[in-house]
Amino acid sequence: FIPIVYMDERFAVVNKPAGMLVHRSHQAQDRVFLLQTLRNQIGKHIHIVNRLDRAVSGLMCVAFDAETAASAQEVMSRDTSTKEYLAIVRGATPEGIFKSDAPLTDKDSSMGTKREAHSIFETLSSFPIEIAEPFNPSLAEAVNPNASGAKSSSESPADATGTGAGTEFDEGAMFARNVTVSVVKVAISTGRRHQIRRHLKGLQHNILGDTTYGKGRINQALRDGYGLPRLCLHSRRLEIDHPVTNERMVLEAPLPEDLACFLSNLPKAPVGLVNSL
């Protein structure tokens, strides 16, 4: 079942579930797709206006005829259209608003063609969390130069934090350290492949749960410790002109339950943060 946020005779906006491909792909063996599911659900032929990656949830536009689809794509490209996302990322992002205008290479471009890409970010919250990872001497030393291996003979591996000196770790010991997590609002005026994910990686604020552009060790620690469910990216808000009537539309999709639960599991997330999203 695909939740429908808005629908008329020619145009609709749906709330795409995370984990669902938009349409069939020779690169995947999925048997459930948004395009076919929505077609069966409402009994109409579907034209995709914009796509979301499989792991991304949130607002997505479709049309019921080719003319409306073309008009909607033109509307989405206008400077007056707002496409807003929420992302949960690693690191302390700059206070307030920051940007990335780094050009991005087209997918499968044999010439390495780069196209302009523009993303605007706004930090909503940053806070520390503690994660536990398999002990890595170079990581422990980077976090604490005095940590040459920090487990006394009375410590269990789970208690090893890498904060002492002159002792040795048993095989399988864990290293606890603090990392910062930030919640950011994202607005894009271009729609390049994986644009938000690639721009945030370039800024060293990889999206949590990103298995392509993210940090595998941190993602695994967050899965184990706090129930990180998936890529933490959600298409939250659209402000566009209707492709047929030109009426201004403001559409929203609240933070999905899986991401809300993950944020709630983080002990130092500000009280009320989830409800504000």
**Catalytic annotation on 53?**
yes
Catalytic residue among 8, 30, 53, 79: 53
* Torsion of Cα atoms, 269 then 274 then 275 then 277, to 10°: 120
For residues 206 and 129, what is the distance between their CA atoms, to the nearest angstrom? 16
Q: Which residues are catalytic?
A: 53
